[in-house]
Structure 1
């Protein structure tokens, strides 16, 4: 669905009027286009550790325009603040305030990325305090940025270099247009696994991916994006969506499987189809889901059980089949679509919130089961996304939901798909058991 307000206030007289009236001023976001530059404008790498030197050298090797010290009034495409060596909260002030002096020089749709270490692996309370302080710093900064700029962070375990494969993979994702609607979020890199693709425009070349709920909306966008990135795609949806499913499958030159994923044999049927048609199975995206909203006081058994059955119980059974299959053994990837309703809750969605919270718990627990095969599992939690479902919301509620995030607009199905495609790639091989919110940094809730 088109957000006409954002289009109106992004240019010309509409932009001027919105500024004078103090209205929200969302801008059209820089989204990924194949062949487009990773970032537009120079990148300031700020920090005095060996890790910051390594990042600057790596970015120069990528052919990017890198600064170690900002030039006066020069418009910057990005600031990378490397804080991997901080030991105490007192260590934060100097590097943070030095980078802060360049914030006014950020170009529209610029990026700020922090690189630091996880507080869980800190060797002392002071170190843990400094590291956790970066969390609050980054999320607060993200709410201060304007003109489509975003701020996100990369967390490293203590034994990992800033240039470990998935740290660089996460950095490329955050710098690129693929992360347009990801703001105020962190990705945790926990191992040296992962590999940057030979062709950054085809990171899934040679992979076979399954997408459930693929007939329309976010699911169709996921299928299109995985295909664009080089994967062969199996599209799964219920028989009632067969016509839409076939149309999308033909568009992406994939195969369609009409299947109710809540069936006991759904996992085996998915595996058999992928192997028979494509010879292998590398990626499974659990996107299928339903809503049956009602206040809990008015909730009936049918609404509750149907949502649990489709949104989480089906995923658990399919994952059991995947983990038992010899065809899902070579660096497999599972990505599940959760929801911010499963994190912060939402009125009238106790059943949906329970199911999506369940997805997050499943992802955390399953990560260790995939580790022996070099596999990963992660969740993506969308916020307000412009879909057929949100288009049916009452106008006032829809407009409020659009504006209650740092970017002051709704996301596109493509934004969710881009995050999933990254987490399904080899570049994210060191990232597992996590949840990445694609919500523009919602301003309310957890």
Structure 2
């Protein structure tokens, strides 16, 4: 559904009127396209504190840089935080519209509370800056354990693909058997890999399938039998295959394994349902149906695909959580519980899946995304959902898809156990 308010504020009368009334003035976001895959303006590299990091090379900055990358890994005390201010204060205003600010931090040192305090301070700093920087620009913090493993993450966050990801703290650890960025086809990083997307026939799932196929994956579009026609059409267009399956069936995991005799590299748990009602009015069926689809089926099928070895070493699991599971939402106790459960799954399984299978486990947590479901929300509630984030607008299914593709990237193996909100830095719970 078109965001008419966003379109109106992009006109001269709209800017004048909303400015006089003190209303939000969201900026149209720059997203990735085949014709314009990267920002122009280069990347301004800055340092606060002592640092010896070396990372990927980026284009030199212009007077209006597309992005600023601040290395604050060496900040260990309050004096170092003053260097953060000194580095960014003069340049923030010059960052281009829809530009990026990425701050590099270090893990908190349990043996040095001064370092831990200074590094934790970077979270409050970046999230606050994200809420004030405006003009469609985003701000994120990346905590580095191994800087050499951060290239895919930095290229994502500094690109148009991360348009609706802001105010996030992402940890990049050490990867076992890392695929170097140089070893990956930059245009088709998933070439030769098979990806399965549950709930892939429509909406966000279809956008994920399209994006993974764009990146070279052979995509299997899984959806319920009632959506098989849509799934078949999409799979045919993408050069993949469709699988009609009720993922709540007890043998769903076994049937998925049977349909993938050559194995699987990327598993995207996107299927989900809502059955909204306040708890006092919610019958047991509404509760159990949401928990079964959104959480129990994810647990069962993940276990089956790992135990059978269908999910190959070096594979990726990307599950779909939600801001409703992180911040809560009235009338969605069942949905919120199921999506918070996905977060628990990720945090518990991620270290074991890496140790035992060399498989990463992460989640995306969408906020207000423009879909048929959100288009059905009453007008005033819908408008509130759109505006209550730092970017002042709803996201698009492709925003979730691009984030999923980054987590599925062969060189993203050092990103593990993360829950990344695709919410424009929602003012609720983010």
Number of aligned pairs?
Answer: 426
CA offsets per residue over residues 26-62 of structure 1, 9 Å max, x none?
Answer: 111111123635322132111056746624xx325xx
Q: Is contact 1:27–1:148 with CA below 8 Å preserved after alignment? A: yes
| Distance (whole Å) between structure 2 residues aligned to residue 49 and residue 92 of structure 1 | 8
Match of residue 399 from structure 1? 383
CA offsets per residue over residues 131-154 of structure 1, 9 Å max, x none?
Answer: 111011010000011110000111
Task: Report the secondary structure of 2:361's partner residue.
Answer: strand
Match of residue 126 from structure 2? 138
Measured after TM superposition, the shift of residue 249 of structure 1 is: 1.4
Point out where structure 1 has 5 or more consecutive residues left out of the alignment. 68-73
Which of 88, 91, 94 is the aligned partner of 1:102? 91
Task: Report the secondary structure of 1:241's partner residue.
Answer: helix
| Distance (whole Å) between structure 2 residues aligned to residue 16 and residue 433 of structure 1 | 45
Match of residue 114 from structure 2? 126
Aligned residue runs from structure 1 range 263-282, under 5 A? 263-275=249-261, 279-282=262-265
Match of residue 91 from structure 1? 80
Match of residue 65 from structure 1? 60
Which of 344, 362, 365 is the aligned partner of 1:381? 365
Q: Is contact 1:52–1:82 with CA below 8 Å preserved after alignment? A: no
CA offsets per residue over residues 268-312 of structure 1, 9 Å max, x none?
Answer: 21122122xxx3310100000111111011111000110111100
Match of residue 348 from structure 2? 365
Measured after TM superposition, the shift of residue 81 of structure 1 is: 1.0
Tell me how large the CA RMSD over aligned residues is: 1.6
Q: Is contact 1:194–1:430 with CA below 8 Å preserved after alignment? A: no
Q: Is contact 2:97–2:136 with CA below 8 Å preserved after alignment? A: yes
Q: Is 1:441 paired with 2:425?
A: yes
When the two structures are superposed, what TM-score results if normalisation uses the length of structure 1?
0.92
Match of residue 208 from structure 1? 194
Q: Is contact 1:312–1:358 with CA below 8 Å preserved after alignment? A: yes
Aligned residue runs from structure 1 range 242-261, under 5 A? 242-261=228-247
Q: Is contact 2:263–2:312 with CA below 8 Å preserved after alignment? A: no
Point out where structure 2 has 5 or more consecutive residues left out of the alignment. none
Task: Report the secondary structure of 1:332's partner residue.
Answer: strand
Q: Is 1:195 paired with 2:193?
A: no
Q: Is contact 1:260–1:266 with CA below 8 Å preserved after alignment? A: yes
Measured after TM superposition, the shift of residue 368 of structure 1 is: 2.2
Q: Is contact 1:81–1:96 with CA below 8 Å preserved after alignment? A: no
CA offsets per residue over residues 212-239 of structure 1, 9 Å max, x none?
Answer: 0011110111111111111000011111
Q: Is 1:111 paired with 2:95?
A: no
Match of residue 393 from structure 2? 409
When the two structures are superposed, what TM-score results if normalisation uses the length of structure 2?
0.95
Q: Is contact 1:59–1:66 with CA below 8 Å preserved after alignment? A: no
